[in-house]
Structure 1
Amino acid sequence: MELDKAVAVVTGANRGLGRHLAAQLAERGAKVYAAARRPETVDLPGVTPLRLDVTDPESIRQAARTASDATLLINNAGISTGATLVDGDPDDVRREMETNFYGPLAATRAFAPVIEGNGGGAILNVLSVLSWLHPAGLGSYAASKAAAWALSGATREELAPRGITVSALHVGYMDTDMAAAVPADQKTPAADVAAQALAGIAAGLPEIVADDLTRQVKQSLATEPRPSQV
C-alpha cells in the first residue's frame, strides 16, 4: 500500500501509539482522521479529529459515514484493566472484550465496505505479545488480544477477495501510559513501533512483530506448555 496516498482512520489517536501512528502517517503525506472518544483532545497538526468510541456502534457508523474516503483503518484503541479471569471483576473482563475485540470487529464491519468502495486498502489491528502469551495476572487482557488475533486471521481471508489486506501488530512493552510502571529499559519507544507498523502495512505483511520479546514468544508457540502454565 502506498501510504502517501492513503486516507487513514486511526482509533485512539489522541495519545500513545495511536498518536505516533497518526503523526507519522501525516508526515508521509497521508490524509489522517485522528479518531478518539473526545476529538477535542486530538492536538496533532495536519490531521482531522474524528469522534469514534469503539464501544458505541452508532459512533462507529457515524465515523464511517464521515470518513467516507477511507482506505486504511488502524484499530489501535484498547484498554487493560488488570483483571484476572477466575477472580477478577466480570465487568472489567467484559469491558476489555468489548473494547479490544468487539470494538475492532465493529469498526472492521463498518469500514470494510468503505475501503472496498474506494478501490481497496488495508486494516491494521494493534495486538500484543499477550495474543500468544497468557499470564494469569493479565488473563482478561490476554484473552481479548488472543480473540483479536483470531479476528485478524479470519477477516484477512474474508476480505482478501475485496481488495483489503489485514495486518496484525504484536508488541510487548511500549513507552505509553499503559506500561507506565514498567522500567524504561524494558520498553520499546512507541515511535519505533509505529514506524515498524507502517512499514509492515506498506509491505502488506500479515504479521508485524515489533520487538525481541515478542519474536521469542512467537518462536516458542510450537512447544508444549509447562505444567505450571496449564
Structure 2
Amino acid sequence: MDLKNAVAVVTGANRGLGRHISSQLLDRGATVYAAARRPETVDLPGAIPLRLDVTDEESVRAAARVASDATLLVNNAGISTSTPLIAGGLDAVRLEMETNFFGPLAVTRAFAPVLEGNGGGAVLNVLSVLSWLHPAGLGSYAAAKAAAWAMSDASREELAPRGITVSALHVAYMATDMAAGIPADQKADPAEVAAQALHGVEAGLPEILADATTRYVKQSLATSPNAA
C-alpha cells in the first residue's frame, strides 16, 4: 500500500503508539484522522481530530461517516486492567474484551465498506505478544488479545476479496503509559515499533513481529507446553 497517498484513521491517536503512528503517517504525506474518545486531547499538528469511542457503536458509525475517504484503518486503542480471569472482577474482564476485541471488530465492520468503496485499502490491528503468551495475572488482557489475533486472521481472509489487507502488529512492552511500571531496558521504543508497523502495512505483511521477545514467543508456539 502506498502510504504517501493514504487517508488513515488511527484509533487511540492522542498518545503512545497511536500518536507515533499518526505522526509518521503525516511525515509520509498521508492524511490522518486522529481518533480519540476526547478529540480535544489530540495535539498533533496536521492531524484531523475525530471523536471515536470504540466501545460506543453509534460513535463508531458516526466516525465512519465523517472519515468517508479513509483507505487505512489502524485499530490501536486499547486498555489493560491487569485483571486475572478467575480471581478478578468480571466487569473488568468484560471491559477489556469490549475495548480490545469487540471495539476493533466494530470499527473494522464500520470501515470495511468505506475502504472498499475507496478502491480497497488496509487494516492494521495492534495486538501483543500476549496474543500467544498468557500469564495468569494478565489473563483478561491476554484473552482479549488472543481473540483479536483470531479476528485478524479470520477478517484477513474475509476482506481479501474486497481489496483490503489485514496486518497484525505483535509487540511486548513499549515505553508508553501502559507499561509505566516496567524497567526501561525491557521496553521497546514506540517510534521504532511504529516504523516497523508502517513498513509491514506497505509490504502487506500478515504479521509484524516488532521485538526479540515477540519473535521468540512466536517461534516457540510449535513447542508443546509439556516439552522439557
Q: TM-score, normalised by structure 1?
A: 0.98
Describe the superposition over 1:180-206 as per-residue Cα deviations: whole angstroms up to 9, x where unpaired: 010001100000000000000000000
CA distance in 2, matches of 1:159, 1:42: 30
Identity value in percent: 78
Residue 193 of structure 2: SS of its match in structure 1?
helix
Flag structure 1 segments of 5+ consecutive residues without an equivalent: none
> What value does the CA root-mean-square deviation take over the aligned residues?
0.7
**Residue number in structure 2 paired with 1:192:** 192
Amino acid at match of 1:14: N
Residue 125 of structure 1: SS of its match in structure 2?
strand
Residue 220 of structure 1: SS of its match in structure 2?
helix
Aligned-pair CA distance for 1:226: 3.6
Q: TM-score, normalised by structure 2?
A: 0.99
**Residue number in structure 2 paired with 1:106:** 106
Describe the superposition over 1:145-193 as per-residue Cα deviations: whole angstroms up to 9, x where unpaired: 0000000000000000000000000000000000001000110000000
**Residue number in structure 2 paired with 1:161:** 161
Aligned-pair CA distance for 1:224: 1.0
**Residue number in structure 2 paired with 1:144:** 144
CA distance in 2, matches of 1:166, 1:198: 12
CA distance in 2, matches of 1:175, 1:132: 21
**Residue number in structure 2 paired with 1:135:** 135
**Residue number in structure 1 paired with 2:217:** 217
**Residue number in structure 2 paired with 1:17:** 17
Aligned pairs, number: 227
CA distance in 2, matches of 1:79, 1:90: 15
CA distance in 2, matches of 1:67, 1:92: 31
4+ aligned runs moved over 4 Å, structure 1: none
**Residue number in structure 1 paired with 2:66:** 66
Aligned-pair CA distance for 1:42: 0.1
Flag structure 2 segments of 5+ consecutive residues without an equivalent: none
Amino acid at match of 1:67: A
What pairs with 1:118-133 in structure 2 (closer than 5 Å)? 118-133=118-133
Residue 50 of structure 2: SS of its match in structure 1?
strand
**Residue number in structure 2 paired with 1:30:** 30
Residue 82 of structure 1: SS of its match in structure 2?
coil
1:177 and 2:177 are equivalent in the alignment: yes
Residue 134 of structure 1: SS of its match in structure 2?
coil
